[in-house]
Amino acid sequence: MLSETSEVLQYTIKDPLELNLAYMPFIEDGGLFIPSDRSFVLDENISVDLLLPGKTQSIRIIGKIIWITPKNALHHVLPGIGIRFTGADSKTIRETIEASLDRSTDIGGYTYGITEEHKSENQPKK
């Protein structure tokens, strides 16, 4: 669930599967996909209060928008933004998120906003 309060986005991740789908380990310093129908600007700096599953206190993430998946995107992917952690505590945030991942669930590298169909369409033809 995403809401906005005083320029800080609030993102509550309800369960470990959602965290696995939102976390982007392939982004330097860590990254997160945040589902949203709101309009954003690429390279915009952003603050997010993230509440992880099973936690009662949110963590503040300072980041930069590195991609935007608009409403009505091809392949029926979820609209939202991808952010790269940029704050001084990025490493700690990344470690906190990675410690909360559900390692028993293999999502096969899938991240919200990217589908297997989209990946296969963008592979070189043999």
Q: What is the mean pLDDT of residues 16-23?
A: 89
Residue 67 inside a domain? The answer is yes
Domain membership of residue 9 (yes or no) is: yes
Domain that holds residue 50: 2-107
Tokens 């928008």, residue located: 65
In a domain, 124, yes or no: no
> Is residue 61 a part of any domain in this protein?
yes
State CA 35 to chain mean position distance. Answer: 8
In tens, the pLDDT along 34-89 reads 999 898 999 999 999 999 999 999 999 999 999 898 887 776 678 899 999 999 99
Within-domain flag for 115: no
Q: Which of the 8 DSSP states describes residue 23? A: B
Q: What pTM, to 2 d.p., does this model score?
A: 0.76
Task: Please indicate, yes or no, if residue 62 is contained in any of the structural domains.
Answer: yes
Contacts of the segment 24-27: beta carbons below 8 A, 24+ positions apart = 24/82, 24/111, 25/98, 27/66, 27/82, 27/84, 27/85
Could you tell me if residue 119 is inside a domain? no
Number of structural domains in the chain: 1
69: domain CATH number is 2.40.10.220
User: Does 123 reside within a domain?
Assistant: no
